[in-house]
Amino acid sequence: MTSAAPAVTKVSEAPSRRSWKTVILASLGGSLEMYDFIIYGVFAAEISRQFFPGNDPLISLISAFGVFAVGYASRPLGGIVLSSLGDRFGRRGVLLVSVFAMSISTIAVGLTPGYASIGMAAPILLIIFRFSQGFFLAGELPCAITYVVEEVPRRGGFVTGVVIFCAIAGILVATIVSLVIHSVLPAAEVDAYGWRIAFGLGGVIGFASYWVRTSLEESQEFQKMRSHVAKRPFRQLLRSHPTQIAVAVGVAAIVNGSNSLLFVVLPSYFSRVLHYSADSLSIAQNVGIAAMAVSLFFFAWLSDTVPARLIHRVGTVVILLGSIPLYEGLISHSISVVTMFLVLGIVGGFVNGTFGYLLADLFPTQIRFSGVALSLNLATAVFTGLTPLIVTQLLKATGSLIAPAMYAVTCASIALVAGLFVKRFSGNIAPKNSN
C-alpha cells in the first residue's frame, strides 16, 4: 500500500496558461452546480406548500427543511465513493460524472408533481431526488478544490478562493432568479409553477457545465503520481490522518453554519413566518451574497501573502463577538435587514476565502481528494444540512431571533478551536507560506 508520508506539491514552476484555463473551467462548473443545489433552499417556502400542506406554516417549513437536510445527509456517502474513485483514477472523471448526474436530479425535482396530485408519493420522490443531488454534489466542490491546488500550487490560496468565489456567484444567480420570478409572477403562480422554472433552468445550466468541462485534462500533480496512487485511499485516510479530518471539519464549521443561515434560514423564516415581502428579502440577500463574493475574493488573494489560517481566525473571532449585537440590532429595528445581510456577507469573506486552501493543505496528494471530501461533507452534513432544522426548532421553542445568533456563536467557537491546530498539520501544498 502507498505510504502515508506527505506528498508536498512542487512550487517552483510558474502557473501556465493551461493551468489558469483549468482553474477557470473547474471553478465555473462549480458555480453552475451550486446553483442547482441551493435553489431548493431559495424556494423552500413554495416547496413546503406544494409537498407539505398544513395549517401551521412553521411545521410545513420544518418539513421542507427536513428534505433539505436529506441532501446533506447523503453527502458523506457520496464523498467517500466519489473521492475514492478520484484518488485512484483521477479528478477529471469525477468532475464530469458529478455535474451530469446532479443536473438530471435537479430537473427531476422540478418535474415532480405536488402532494395535491399524487399524495404521499410526492414527498417520497422529492426525498429520493434530493438524496441523489446531495450524493453527486459531494464530489463537486472537494474535487474542484483538489484540482486547482494541484494545477497552481504556488497560488493555492488564490485559486481555491476562485473556486469558492464562483460557487458563491452560482448562489447569487439562484437568488437573482428567485427575485425575477417573484417580481414577474403573482404569488399563486410562483407556488404553482414558478419555482419549477428555476429548477428547469438549473438543469440546463448543469448540462452546459458538463459540456464545458469535457475539455479539461487531468491535474498535473495527479499525472505525476499515477504510478503511486493509494489503492485504498479512504482506509489510508482514516488510519493515518484522523486528527487532520477533525481539524478540517472544525475549520469548515463556521463556513457551513453561517452560509446556511445567510442563504437558507433567514430569508425563508422572515418570509414564511414573519411575513416580510419576498421582494425586499431577495434584495437584501443578494446584497449579502454579492458582498461575500467580493470579500472572499480579496481575502483569497491576500492569503498567498498573509497566512490563510490567520485570516480565517480573524473572521471567526469577529463572528463570535459580533453575532449577538447584530441580531439584537435587528430585533430592535436599529439596523435594516439589508445592513444585516451586508455585514454578514463581508465578514463571511474572511472564512469563505481561506477555508478551501486550509483543508487541501492538511492532506498529501495521494489522499487529498478523499481528505477534503470527507471532512467537507461531514461539515456540511452537520453544520449546513441540520442548521435550518436546528434554528427553526429553536425559534419555535423560544420565539426569539437571538437563536440564529447563538448558533453562529457556537459554530465560530468550534472553528476557532480547530484553527489553532492548523499550522501543526499543514504544509502539504506550499510550505513556503506556512499557511
Q: What is the mean pLDDT of residues 131-158?
A: 86
Q: What is the mean pLDDT of residues 100-128?
A: 87
Find which of 216-230, 362-376, 421-435 is predicted with most confidence, using mean pLDDT: 362-376
Instruction: For residue range 52-110, list pLDDT tens digits in order.
Output: 776 666 667 667 777 767 777 787 888 888 888 888 777 788 888 888 888 898 899 88
Judged against a pLDDT cut of 70, whether residue 416 lies above it is answered with yes
Instruction: For residue range 31-48, list pLDDT tens digits in order.
Output: 766 776 678 777 877 887
Q: How far is CA 301 from the centre of its chain?
A: 20
- pTM here is 0.79
For residues 65 and 44, what is the distance between their CA atoms, to the nearest angstrom?
A: 7
Between these two residues, 348 and 168, which has the higher pLDDT value?
Answer: 348
The residue with cell 408519493 is 121
**Nearby residues of 380 by Cβ (< 8 Å), 6 or more positions away:** 72, 75, 252, 256
- In this structure, are residues 145 and 48 in contact, taking their beta carbons and an 8 Å threshold? no
Q: What's residue 99's pLDDT?
A: 82
The residue with cell 485534462 is 217
Instruction: For residue range 319-375, list pLDDT tens digits in order.
Output: 999 999 988 887 776 777 788 889 989 999 999 999 999 999 999 888 898 999 899
Judged against a pLDDT cut of 50, whether residue 5 lies above it is answered with no
b vs e for 302-332, b when ≥16 Cβ sit within 10 Å of the residue's Cβ? bbbeebbbbbbbebbebbbebbeebbeebee
Going from N- to C-terminal start, the domains of the chain cover: 17-224+234-425
Judged against a pLDDT cut of 50, whether residue 3 lies above it is answered with no
Q: What's residue 7's pLDDT?
A: 45
Among 317, 315, 408, 325, residue whose Cα is nearest residue 358: 315
Instruction: For residue range 181-193, list pLDDT tens digits in order.
Output: 888 988 888 888 8
Among 1.10.443.10, 1.20.1250.20, 3.30.470.20, 2.60.120.10, name the CATH number for the domain at 17-224+234-425: 1.20.1250.20
Q: What's residue 11's pLDDT?
A: 42
- In this structure, are residues 296 and 196 in contact, taking their beta carbons and an 8 Å threshold? no
Judged against a pLDDT cut of 50, whether residue 426 lies above it is answered with yes
